[in-house]
Structure formats: structure tokens, C-alpha cells
Structure 1
Amino acid sequence: MSTIKLAIVGVGKIVYDQHVPAIAGNANFTLLATASRNNTIDGVASFPTIEAMLAAHPEIEAVSLCMPPQYRYKAAYAALSAGKHVLMEKPPGATLSEVSDLKRLAAEKGVTLFATWHSRHAPAVPVMKAFLAEYAPRKVTINWKEDVRQWHPNQDWIWQPGGLGVFDPGINALSIMTEILPRAVFLRAAELSFPENREAPIAADLHFTNADGLPVEAQFDWRQTGKQSWDIIVETDKGELRMADGGAKLSIDGVAQELPPEAEYPSLYSHFADLIQNGKSDVDLSPLRQIADAFMLGKRQVVEAFHD
């Protein structure tokens, strides 16, 4: 496959930390340009809008969209309409309807659309999925707790409608949950904690089950200081799976498992290249659907104001 001419729209921390190194390490891509209101990448042509970028560089073949989800649809629609392959950072959009329409458009234009879930590419995830395919889960406990001031300092968009609040990191846990469990689970109840001065939740307690009554309990909280918690514990008849550090570590019945090094974003770009080469798309909306269900079923409670 010839090198794919790639552009990035929305240049921020995740782009500098993850996307740029992953692209640089993948011979299938050449980073040609960026579009961003505030930031640039050294040595790469920059533009204020995706429209200006595509007009100046019609040879661009693929676009990675890394702006907040509230602005994703317009940019994705422009790229797909221009016949470009599109990779979307998580979450893929502000609503299910938006992303479903983008999926339709990608199929109409005959281009690839990839809704990424980077946590599914953590080294522990395929091991857990294979284990649970053989040994049925009996109980699942998810603890996803971190300090919003550390990971999202002064990011107002994340507290606005569509920004998801604590579900921005929590969707990573849900992406793993929906990947490893052999049967679909459904939300039955939820409690969402909204700071009195914010429009998105700072914490959430979620209660799921499946057709067989499997209990799945998830707690998300953005107020945790000190050690951060990104853990999933699954009880089975053949021992306990304990995933830690977002999937970087795994023990089975107390025995630490040897895992390859973390390479989530390099794996995303390898998958993107494969999708393009094979003329396919990958748009799984199940993690976002679980969050939509939480907003539909969740009992809202107001908690103390949050200030950065």
C-alpha cells in the first residue's frame, strides 16, 4: 500500500502525546497538514479550518478528527463529502444520530470511517476477552476514578452539553466492558452527580445486567486525588480477573500475567491503515449508546460546585 497522506483536525494535548508519535512510527502514513484554531505541529502546514485545509491540499486522503465531540459532525461531514477517509477520536460524536448519519455518508462515498476506542487496544483486553469467552463471568465491578484537574485542566468544553463530563474517561471503561463480555449488557439504573455550576456530571454510579442476570456495577468519579483508578474486576468460576491501570496490567486468580507493552495509539493507526486498504469501516456505537442510556435513565443529583 502506498503512503496515505493524512491530516489532523483539532490539535491539542492528545494529539501531541499520542497521535503524532503513533503516526511518525507508522510507515503507512505521512502527516501532511493540520487544521486547528489554536495550535500547530512543527514542520507541518497549518490552517484555521478544515475547509481551508482541504482546499489548499486536495491530495489529502485521510483525516484524523481530534476536536471536542460537539464539533465532530461538521468536520467529519466535510471530510467524508470530499472523499476522505476519517478516523474519529473517542467519543465519536455528541449524539448517536450524528454518528449514524456519518456512517451512512461514508458508505455512500465508498470511504473508511473509523470510530476509535483506544482502550480496547490495551494489552490486557484481548486476554480478558478470550478468557471470558471460555469461562462465563459471574460478576463485574468497574472503578474508573481520576482527577479531572490533572487530565482536563481548564477545559470548559468538557463540562458543556455534549462534552460528557465524567463519561469522557468513563467511556473508556465502557468500551472495554462492551468488548470483553460475551453477551450484551443493559443499563437498569444510574445516579448522575452534577456540580451545581456545571452542565455535565462529575460522577456516576451505573448498574447493568444482561438477559442472564449478570450484575455489572460501575463507578466513575472525577474527584479522586492521589493514585488514579482504572480497574475492572471480573469474577468467574475459574478465578478472578483483575485489570488495572486501564488495561496495562492483568492478574488471573492472583497471578500477574505477562503482557506486551502498551501501544494503544500505534494499534489504532495500524487498524486504520488496514481498514483503508480493505475498503472497510469500523463504527461500533455500543459504548456511546450505554452513555445515552445513562442520561435517559439516570437519576440526577446536584452536588457542590466544581472550580478548576
Structure 2
Amino acid sequence: MTPIRIAIVGVGKIARDQHVPSIAASADFDLVATASRHGSVDGVPSYPDIEALLEKVEHFDAVALCMPPGPRHAAALTALRAGKHVLLEKPPGATLSELDDLVALAAGQRVSLFATWHSRFAAGVAQAKQWLASRNIRSVRVDWKEDVRKWHPGQAWIWEPGGFGVFDPGINALSIVTEILPMPIHLTAATLQFPENRTQPIAAELTFADAAGERATATFDWRQTGPQTWDIRASTDDGDLLLQSGGARLTIDGKMVVDGRDEEYAGIYRRFAGLIAARESDVDPRPLRHVADAFMVGRHAFVEPFED
């Protein structure tokens, strides 16, 4: 089978760390070009923007959009109008409404649109979903705490409007929660902590409920040094489940069930190849909707200034 010819638009940290090696390791894809104002990949033709890419590279099939969420919508429209399959890095856009016309355009063009949530492809997530499906869930607790200086060094855009702040990693937790829970939940309360010198939050406390009442809480914090925490706990009538390391490790009632490696982006590209083969799209807005709700109903608190 001929590999899918793909281009990366936006060659930053996530593209270099995850997309480039995952494409290189995949038999389904061949990286033929990049488009970026500041980055490139050795040995791969590079262009300043998606318009130049489309003008100069005649034969390719798909694009992976890895730039910040603000400009991603315009790039996605351009790619879809050109008949390209489109992979959106998470979050899929700066707003929920941006997704509507992308979904409609992809359907009209008969190409695939994939809004990726890489944490859903962590090793323990699928089995956690299966285990919870038939159980009565009493409570869910999320602790997602990391060091922004380690994971987003010098990325000023992440503190600007549309950059999401602590919800950039926090949305990964929400993508797992919305995947593994058998019932829908909605946000009921939130407190967002904003550094005095930033326009996006550095920490957040969230409370969620379902039809039966309050069911889940989450703490997101970007100020944690030392060991990093990416944990989701679920208490059920039949025992307790714990996802750690961002979903890579699954423990049930203290017994290790899954202890996997980081192969999330390999899973993303397998899924994208399957979508392209079937001419289907996969766009789940639920994690982004929870973030939007937090900004809508959350109480804003101000904390000390933050400097990189």
C-alpha cells in the first residue's frame, strides 16, 4: 500500500518531539514537506506557510496542523478547501464554534478531519473505559499538576488569549475523563487562578456533576516542580481504579493491570490512517466544551506574577 503523503504545518516543540518521529516510524505515512515560520525538519522541503506549501508541492494527501490553536482554524480551512485530509493537534481550535464549519467543509469535500486527543491513546485508557462501563461510579478525582517551565519553555503564546494556560495540559485529563466515563458530566463550579501579569490561568479547581448529582472534581496546576502528577481516580461499587502517568499506568484495587510505554502519537497516526482509508472524520468537542464552560462560569482569582 502506498504511504499517505503528509505535510506538517507548524514545526515547534510538539511537532519535533512527537509528530516527526511518529510519522517516521509509521508505515502508513511519508513526511514530504513542512510549513513553518521558524522551524524545519532536516532533509524535508520547508515553506514559510501553508499557502506556499500548497502552491509548491503538487502531490500530497494530508496535513498535520501543529501550530498554536489561534491560527489553526484558518490553516484548516485552507487545507480542506484544497482537498487535503486534516489532523488537528489538540486543542482542535481556539473556540467551539470554529469546529462547525470545519466539520461541514470536510464532509462536503469528502476528506477526513481528525481532532486528536493524544491522551486517549495512552496505554491504560481503553481498558479503564471497558472496566468502568458496567459499574456504578461513586466519584472521580483528577490531579493534573506539572511544571510549565519544563514542558512549555519560552512559549509566550500559551499565556495569550486563546492560548489556554493551564488548560493546555488540563484538557488532556478532560479528554480521558470524557472517554472513559459511561455517563456524560457537566461543569457546575470552577475557580481559575490568573497570575497578575498573565491573561490565562496557571491553576484551576473544577467540579462536575451528572444527572444524579456531583460526581467529579479536578485540580490543574502548572507550578509543580519535582515529580509530575497526571492521575485520575475513580471509586465504584466494585472497587477503585487509578490511571497514572497520563493514562499509561492502570491500577485496579491496588493491582497493576497496565504499565505501558508512551505510544500515544503512534496511536493517533494509526487512527488517522484508518479514517483516511474510510473517508471518515472524528471530531469530539467535549473536552473543549468543558474548558469553555470553565471560562464562562468560573470565578477568577489573581495570584502572584509568573515569569519564565
TM bucket, shorter chain: over 0.9
TM-score for both structures, normalised by structure 2: 0.98
- CA-CA distance at 1:100 after TM superposition: 1.5
One-letter code aligned to 1:72 = R
One-letter code aligned to 1:93 = G
Distance in structure 2 (CA, Å) of the matches to 1:290 and 1:124: 23
Residue pairs, 1:1-308, within 5 angstroms:
1-308=1-308
One-letter code aligned to 1:197 = N
Distance in structure 1 (CA, Å) of the matches to 2:199 and 2:43: 38
- CA-CA distance at 1:279 after TM superposition: 0.7
TM-score for both structures, normalised by structure 1: 0.98
One-letter code aligned to 2:205 = D
One-letter code aligned to 2:294 = A
Where structure 2 has 5 or more consecutive residues not aligned to the other structure, the ranges are: none
Deviations 1:195-250 (A, max 9, x none): 11000000000000101225100000001111100000000111110111101111
SS of residue paired to 2:291: helix
Alignment check: 8 A CA contact 2:141 2:218 kept: yes
Alignment check: 8 A CA contact 2:207 2:214 kept: no
CA RMSD of aligned residues (A): 0.9
- CA-CA distance at 1:3 after TM superposition: 1.4
Distance in structure 2 (CA, Å) of the matches to 1:251 and 1:89: 29
One-letter code aligned to 2:240 = E
Distance in structure 2 (CA, Å) of the matches to 1:127 and 1:214: 25
Deviations 1:20-54 (A, max 9, x none): 11111111111000000101100000000100011
Distance in structure 2 (CA, Å) of the matches to 1:246 and 1:279: 30
Alignment check: 8 A CA contact 2:248 2:258 kept: no
One-letter code aligned to 1:51 = E
- Greater shift, 157-166 or 1-10, is seen at 1-10
SS of residue paired to 1:265: helix
Alignment check: 8 A CA contact 1:138 1:214 kept: no
Deviations 1:64-98 (A, max 9, x none): 00000001011101000000000000000000111
Where structure 1 has 5 or more consecutive residues not aligned to the other structure, the ranges are: none
The aligned length equals 308
Deviations 1:234-272 (A, max 9, x none): 001111101111011111001111344331101100100
Distance in structure 1 (CA, Å) of the matches to 2:147 and 2:27: 36
Distance in structure 1 (CA, Å) of the matches to 2:111 and 2:287: 23
Distance in structure 1 (CA, Å) of the matches to 2:107 and 2:183: 28
